[in-house]
Structure 1
Amino acid sequence: MLGLQHLISELRHAGPAELGRHATIPAERTGVLEVVLGRLWPTVDRQVGIPDCAAGEVIRDDHPMQRFDIFGGDLVAGTAVRATIISHEPWGVMAEVLGHETVGASADAAFIDSPSGAPRALPEEYPPVGVQVEAVVQEIRRYHPPAWIRLTMRTADLREFSWPCGCCGQLAILSPGGDGVTVDVRSSDGPGCASFAVHRSCLADRLDPDFNGDRARVVAVGRNQPPLASDGIQSP
């Protein structure tokens, strides 16, 4: 089987007649890679709206470790974005986040407003394909490849988005100005990122009392960053 890098190189040099707007190619994993508008995504399970990578499955090549978990790294849960609806699915919609078009994105029907009052938006209530909508990042899934952005389009979440705290279980507000933050857990052992929401205070209280600097940074991060020194280097 061709190496993944070699395969990508061939795709980059392929003309429109060879690729078209939507094609499938063999991959070094069970299933196929979909080529959609120039992006490489693993096949999406259209019943649940997430890539069909099995637990523990990693796209491998003969090159040094490549970290797929860097993609979408400048997005955080609670961030307001604009997204283009690219398809309707039984479970919700596929979308494209402006500025992050190379990362797959979707919104489950439970996170789309239903004018009829249904707990999940009905297919006819989905935003039309091709329109741009306001959304909030609910989660960036980077535990298995590929990175994937989950969105919420509910009006209430656009005003204020919250998620249960991983420490106390109570809702933490992740919107700007809220009392919650996102914790990303990564390892030098290999790619992948586990994330969870937490109250700033809950996280700070669980740190060693002697770690005063770390506790202070947890409370201040994103709000009161230390000023840059004259040489452009941030003071510790």
Structure 2
Amino acid sequence: MERFETESLALMPGQRVRANVLSHHPWGVLVEIVGYENARGHARLSASVDMIEQFSRTTSSHDELLALFPPVGSQIDAVIEQVRRWHPPVSVRLSIRPADLESLVRACDFCGERVTVAPGGDALVLDSRSNDGPGSHTVIAHRNCLAERIRPENTGERARAWEIGKMC
């Protein structure tokens, strides 16, 4: 991984994507996100859908759960739940839950309350990096939780936290 791998920075929680199903596994499916294949057609990052985590509580049998697995070779709609950039390759966790496809909701990393991480929602997605080396970490926060934690005398940054991403 380069000092700061930048290509995957275009991917963030709440973003809708299309993905090709590559293989089935006991826990879920491996996929490649359309547009993130290399010149040879191979994935440049690791992406998956954890079917057990997403659907095991809503299905009554293992066979019912297996029936929800999208077929290998199919293309699916998904929403990005999480992007991990700790070490190569970048790892992306996708959701195909119908509710998440409509509007991804997660806990704010500051207050723990639910926040909508989708267009029109009130979440900000922060990508933190260190000058000491590669990797980064994503933090999801209510706009208010971030803005209120910025020093009051830092009015410019506080104002930007309130306005970033809002339609003019």
Quickly name the TM-score band, shorter chain normalised: 0.7 to 0.9
The 8 Å contact of residues 59 and 65 in structure 2, kept in 1 or not, is answered as no
- Name the amino acid aligned to 2:137: A
Percent pairwise identity: 41
Aligned length: 161
TM-score by length of 1: 0.63
Distance 1:119 1:152, change over 3 A: farther
Which fold has the larger relative contact order, with Cα–Cα distance below 8 Å and residues 6 or more apart in sequence?
Answer: 2
- Name the amino acid aligned to 1:78: G
Structure 2 equivalent of residue 174 of structure 1: 117
Moved over 6 A (4+): none
Structure 1 equivalent of residue 76 of structure 2: 133
5 Å-filtered alignment, 1:34-113, equals 66-67=2-3, 69-101=5-37, 102-110=44-52, 112-113=54-55
User: Which of 89, 93, 97 pairs up with 1:150?
Assistant: 93
Alignment partners' CA distance in 1, 2:54 and 2:108: 23
- Shift of residue 183 of structure 1? 1.1
Measured against aligned partners, the alpha-carbon deviations of 1:18-49 in whole angstroms (never above 9, x if no partner) come to xxxxxxxxxxxxxxxxxxxxxxxxxxxxxxxx
- Name the amino acid aligned to 1:144: H
SS in 1 for 2:8: coil
User: Which of 101, 111, 135 pairs up with 1:192?
Assistant: 135
Structure 2 equivalent of residue 47 of structure 1: none
The 8 Å contact of residues 71 and 103 in structure 1, kept in 2 or not, is answered as no
5 Å-filtered alignment, 1:10-21, equals none
- Shift of residue 96 of structure 1? 0.7
Show structure 2 runs of 5+ residues with no match: 38-43
- Shift of residue 143 of structure 1? 1.6
Whichever of the two has the greater Rg, that structure is 1
- Name the amino acid aligned to 1:192: G
5 Å-filtered alignment, 1:185-224, equals 185-224=128-167
- Name the amino acid aligned to 2:29: V
Matched, 1:159 2:97: no
What is the Cα-based RMSD across aligned positions, in Å?
2.3
The 8 Å contact of residues 55 and 65 in structure 2, kept in 1 or not, is answered as no
- Name the amino acid aligned to 2:34: L
Alignment partners' CA distance in 1, 2:61 and 2:161: 36
- Shift of residue 73 of structure 1? 0.9
Show structure 1 runs of 5+ residues with no match: 1-58, 60-65, 226-236
SS in 1 for 2:21: strand
105-114 vs 163-172, which deviates more? 105-114
